[in-house]
Chain A
Amino acid sequence: AQKVTQAQTEISVVEKEDVTLDCVYETRDTTYYLFWYKQPPSGELVFLIRRNSFDEQNEISGRYSWNFQKSTSSFNFTITASQVVDSAVYFCALDSSGAGSYQLTFGKGTKLSVIP
């Protein structure tokens, strides 16, 4: 069985602060994919990043960075110098049912509020 845990239900930060969203996953598969999606107040789901289980390199994209650690089964997401536009619900997701079966298991999401 696969499971994604986002222990932080809600986080509030003041603009320009850094914030890290935690994601812990469970799977017995050796090949799997991890994702982060953003859901702004408008409701749509926006893809942010995909990482496969064989690539533990951290990634940085502008103010966003991701820390993947297989040893702790974590795939954490950091926003540097947060902005009001970052306010959204962020979902971590896992696909571990084979090499790309496309069946995503989502965490419950972390609601981030950035206060001006």
Chain B
Amino acid sequence: DAGVIQSPRHEVTEMGQEVTLRCKPISGHDYLFWYRQTMMRGLELLIYFNNNVPIDDSGMPEDRFSAKMPNASFSTLKIQPSEPRDSAVYFCASSPTGTTYNEQFFGPGTRLTVL
């Protein structure tokens, strides 16, 4: 089975531009998570969805960040306008619901550089 798929793998953009990161979770997984990884702050949970519904977005840093999950197989994380401090690796992860706690499966990440 394919794992979590993220695109693009690398993104370089200029300050002020809109950036859209994409994620396809593992088929059948009900939970989807967006994380950001930086040297200074480590891995931070930004937002997560359950059955396509956003459950907790308290980790989203600013209004410039937004996330959507229009269906069970696709999610986007958008930054508009982008700033140099948004440079980071953004991970998407998914997890199934079950009778026992299930681990999160991470995608390969998108390395974002904002110049």
Q: For the complex, is B34 an interface residue (Cβ under 8 Å from A)?
A: no
Q: For the complex, is A116 an interface residue (Cβ under 8 Å from B)?
A: no
By a CB distance below 8 angstroms, the chain B residues around A108 are: 42
Which segment of A20-28, A39-47, A59-67, A75-83 sits at the interface? A39-47
The prevalent SS among residues of B at the interface is strand
In the complex, the answer to whether A106 meets B106 with C-beta atoms within 8 Å is no
8 A Cβ contacts from B58-111 to A: 89, 91, 93, 95, 101, 103-109, 111
Known contacts A33-B101, A50-B103, A102-B104; is-contact A45 B45 (Cβ 8 Å): no
In the complex, the answer to whether B42 meets A102 with C-beta atoms within 8 Å is no
Distance, CA A108 to CA B40, complexed state (A): 9
By a CB distance below 8 angstroms, the chain A residues around B105 are: 47
In the complex, the answer to whether B48 meets A45 with C-beta atoms within 8 Å is no
Size range of the interface on A? 20 to 34
Distance, CA A87 to CA B98, complexed state (A): 33
- Cβ 8 A contact of A50, one of B93, B101, B109, B111: B101
In the complex, the answer to whether B101 meets A100 with C-beta atoms within 8 Å is yes
A109 to B, closest residue via Cβ: B42
* Residue of B31, B43, B44, B107 ringed by the most chain A CB atoms within 10 A: B43
By a CB distance below 8 angstroms, the chain A residues around B104 are: 47, 102, 104
- Cβ 8 A contact of A44, one of B101, B103, B106: B106
In the complex, the answer to whether B101 meets A43 with C-beta atoms within 8 Å is no
Q: For the complex, is B56 an interface residue (Cβ under 8 Å from A)?
A: yes
In the complex, the answer to whether A106 meets B43 with C-beta atoms within 8 Å is yes
In the complex, the answer to whether A106 meets B42 with C-beta atoms within 8 Å is yes
By a CB distance below 8 angstroms, the chain B residues around A107 are: 42
Distance, CA A107 to CA B42, complexed state (A): 8
8 A Cβ contacts from A75-98 to B: 91, 95
Q: For the complex, is A58 an interface residue (Cβ under 8 Å from B)?
A: no
Q: For the complex, is A74 an interface residue (Cβ under 8 Å from B)?
A: no
7 contacts between A and B (CB under 8 A): A43-B111, A44-B106, A44-B107, A52-B101, A102-B33, A103-B45, A109-B42
